[in-house]
Structure 1
Amino acid sequence: MPPTRTPAPSSSGSFEYRLQRTPVGVVMLDLARRITAVNAVAGRLLRLKGTDPIGADILAFHPPASRAKVRWLIDAAENATDGTAGMVVTTPMGSLVAKVTTLGDQGFCMMFHALGELPMGDAEPAERPHLLKLPVLRGGATELVEIADIVCLTAQGHYAEALTRAGTHLCPLALAELEKRVDPLTFVRVHRRHLVNLRHVRAAERVDGRWTLALSAGQGARIPVGRDKVELVRRLLAV
């Protein structure tokens, strides 16, 4: 009888290997979004050592700038048809991929792992459809704004600030993500921090060798044009 061979261990570069090795943090929340249980990985990622998180609001363990995003994530899961939602959030340990699922009247389960821990190999990500509306945070709720009404999108850390004729609003999506989800023929990255809807550009001006775009909202807000984007902008606006 031939000897039985033991399968060779997975290559450290394979997706299966990384899947098994990726530490996943788990936090259980009640309906009031207070922590009821937390595993060791979550405790390490959220730096809970020396504290008793049970009964505490989950938002207390995130930086102030990230709390609106975490609140939006839980709200999104609560209102989703399948009861799940996910996004990238910032913690004291860096950026995390977070997912939330509802547990009926038991509350919520939040799971997360460090960004970059789980690469997908050579698989090409599926192209995501263009956004029809933009989610913005206002008064603790998520509102949807028509994409055509967006004048400019500006990077604000892991979020984006959306400018409309009605004012500015915080969007829970990063500018890099938004750039992939809007029509590239209308929205142009004219600067590393600004994505402009060219339909709302009122004027293009050159002062002291630097180009700026005057917008139709924000009291005539002016957006700088990056040096590497000048030719593209001039070509698109015929100036």
Structure 2
Amino acid sequence: MSEESKSHPHRAPSFMAAGAADGGSFEYRLQRTPVGVVILDAARKIRSVNPLARQLLLGRESTTPLYGVDILSLHPEGARAKVGWLIDCARDSADGVASLLVTTPMGSLVAKVTRLHTGPAPANIGYCMMFHAQGELQMGDTGEDGLGPLLKLPLMRGKGGVTTLIDVDQVACLTAQGHYAEAKTLSFTAFCPRPLADLERRLDPLTFVRVHRRHLVNIRHVLAAERDQGRLHLRLADPDSTLIPVSRDKIDLMRRLLAV
């Protein structure tokens, strides 16, 4: 998640209503959008998570167990400081609440953390983290299948956690890296904080083809089809001239699409 603006660190952001009649005020949309909820212990380890929060953190198809996982480990390295800052603000604030307004390709998200007390000792503290999706997700649609095509790809570059948005037609390929992806573009390589399966669903299937379980290739940027140790590979137009393997079950498709 890339940070667009921060609210006051000790309370949730307030927004002016646009009027109940237009049905488009922040308060109206907040009540109609699904909410991702994560319960954390004092060490920021996950104790409970609802389906939407799981989807936002891991992607819709993932079945990875989350109980006991450090919430920071599920975010890109550049975003961990921001998530940690948000939790620390909730821990240290007088009212035990902190929030953050962020922007993702799915739209705006309001991330809110509330401090929970499970006992008298400081160690018996937990947190409730909530994600309000203010983009295109609507009540009853907790998946990404209903979203439109992805026009910009979020890429994280450098240690500062700066998110760059690049036109998807500049991407040569996307490679799965755990729960996220690595993007090779026509000018650089960067980390993409989205699962490969989610990206595949939102990219044009006539242009971005899953040629291998780990690789999604923009066939417009394929320079050559080569044989390497008896297997078909695609040479890409990125600065590294990356060679991507083609799965055996995708060879016929590649031959048809590339006329090779």
**Band of TM-score, shorter chain:** 0.5 to 0.7
Superposed CA deviations along residues 172-203 of structure 1, whole A, max 9, x for unmatched, are 00000000010000000011100000010000
Q: TM-score, normalised by structure 2?
A: 0.53
Mapped to 1, the partners of 2:128 and 2:162 lie a distance apart of: 21
Mapped to 1, the partners of 2:183 and 2:47 lie a distance apart of: 38
Mapped to 2, the partners of 1:166 and 1:73 lie a distance apart of: 30
The size of the alignment, in residue pairs, is: 173
The one of 183, 198, 201 equivalent to 1:177 is 198
Q: Aligned to 2:101, what secondary structure does the other structure show?
A: helix
Mapped to 2, the partners of 1:100 and 1:144 lie a distance apart of: 21
Q: How do 1:191-230 and structure 2 match up within 5 A? A: 191-230=212-251
Where structure 2 has 5 or more consecutive residues not aligned to the other structure, the ranges are 1-36, 50-65, 87-98, 115-126, 132-139
The one of 119, 126, 130 equivalent to 1:111 is 130
Cα RMSD over matched residues?
4.3
The one-letter code sitting in structure 2 at the alignment partner of 1:211 is: L
Superposed CA deviations along residues 47-100 of structure 1, whole A, max 9, x for unmatched, are 49xxxxxxxxxxx7633875445567799952349x963xxxxxxxxxxxxx82
The one-letter code sitting in structure 2 at the alignment partner of 1:214 is: R
Q: After the TM superposition, which segments of 4 or more aligned residues of structure 1 sit over 6 Å from their partners?
A: 37-40, 72-76
Q: Could you say if the C-alpha distance between residues 146 and 72 of structure 1 is closer, same or farther in structure 2, counting changes exceeding 3 Å?
A: farther
Mapped to 2, the partners of 1:150 and 1:174 lie a distance apart of: 16
Q: Could you say if the C-alpha distance between residues 109 and 183 of structure 1 is closer, same or farther in structure 2, counting changes exceeding 3 Å?
A: same
Identity of aligned residues (%): 46
Q: Could you say if the C-alpha distance between residues 69 and 231 of structure 1 is closer, same or farther in structure 2, counting changes exceeding 3 Å?
A: farther
Alignment of 1:137 onto 2:164: no
Q: Could you say if the C-alpha distance between residues 46 and 135 of structure 1 is closer, same or farther in structure 2, counting changes exceeding 3 Å?
A: same
Q: Could you say if the C-alpha distance between residues 65 and 168 of structure 1 is closer, same or farther in structure 2, counting changes exceeding 3 Å?
A: same
The structure, 1 or 2, with the larger RCO (C-alpha pairs under 8 Å, 6+ apart) is: 2
The one-letter code sitting in structure 2 at the alignment partner of 1:148 is: D
Q: Could you say if the C-alpha distance between residues 109 and 41 of structure 1 is closer, same or farther in structure 2, counting changes exceeding 3 Å?
A: closer
Q: Aligned to 1:219, what secondary structure does the other structure show?
A: coil
Where structure 1 has 5 or more consecutive residues not aligned to the other structure, the ranges are 1-23, 29-34, 49-59, 86-98, 113-120
Q: TM-score, normalised by structure 1?
A: 0.58
Mapped to 2, the partners of 1:185 and 1:126 lie a distance apart of: 17
Mapped to 2, the partners of 1:102 and 1:210 lie a distance apart of: 50
Mapped to 1, the partners of 2:143 and 2:149 lie a distance apart of: 18
The one of 175, 184, 187 equivalent to 2:208 is 187
1:15 is aligned to: none
Mapped to 1, the partners of 2:103 and 2:74 lie a distance apart of: 25
